């Protein structure tokens, strides 16, 4: 994101953080914008689930989150 883009949005991003986000998106094989949306949705799901559900294992939690994300993705298409 250029300085002009940041000024237009009235935000100032730390380039180190943007680099971390880009690296994480690259590791996941996703465009940065898609990665950010998925991460935000995952955070919302995580907050809702951990407030309401006790998972027996990390795998069970990850499976539930992935299922919800997959269903959400199907609803958008």
Say how far apart CA 28 and CA 44 lie, in whole Å. 19
Are 69 and 38 a contacting pair, CB within 8 Å? Answer: yes
Three-class DSSP category at 31: coil
Residue in 69, 71, 75 with CA at minimum distance from that of residue 30: 69
pLDDT recorded at residue 38: 83
pLDDT recorded at residue 5: 47
This prediction's pTM: 0.48
pLDDT recorded at residue 7: 53
Distance of CA 24 to the CA centre of its chain: 10
pLDDT recorded at residue 12: 60
Place of tokens 């809702």: 48
Place of tokens 């943007």: 18
pLDDT recorded at residue 8: 57
Domain count, the chain: 1
Q: Which stretches of the chain drop beneath a pLDDT of 50?
A: 1, 4-6
Place of tokens 């799901």: 45
> In terms of residue numbers, what domain contains 9?
3-76
């Amino acid at each position: 994101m250029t300085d002009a883009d940041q000024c237009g949005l009235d935000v100032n991003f730390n380039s180190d953080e943007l680099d971390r986000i880009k690296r994480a998106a690259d590791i996941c094989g996703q465009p940065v914008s898609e990665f950010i949306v998925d991460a935000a949705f995952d955070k919302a799901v995580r907050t809702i689930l951990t407030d309401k559900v006790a998972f027996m294992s990390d795998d069970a939690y990850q499976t539930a989150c992935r299922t919800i994300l997959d269903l959400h993705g199907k609803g958008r298409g």
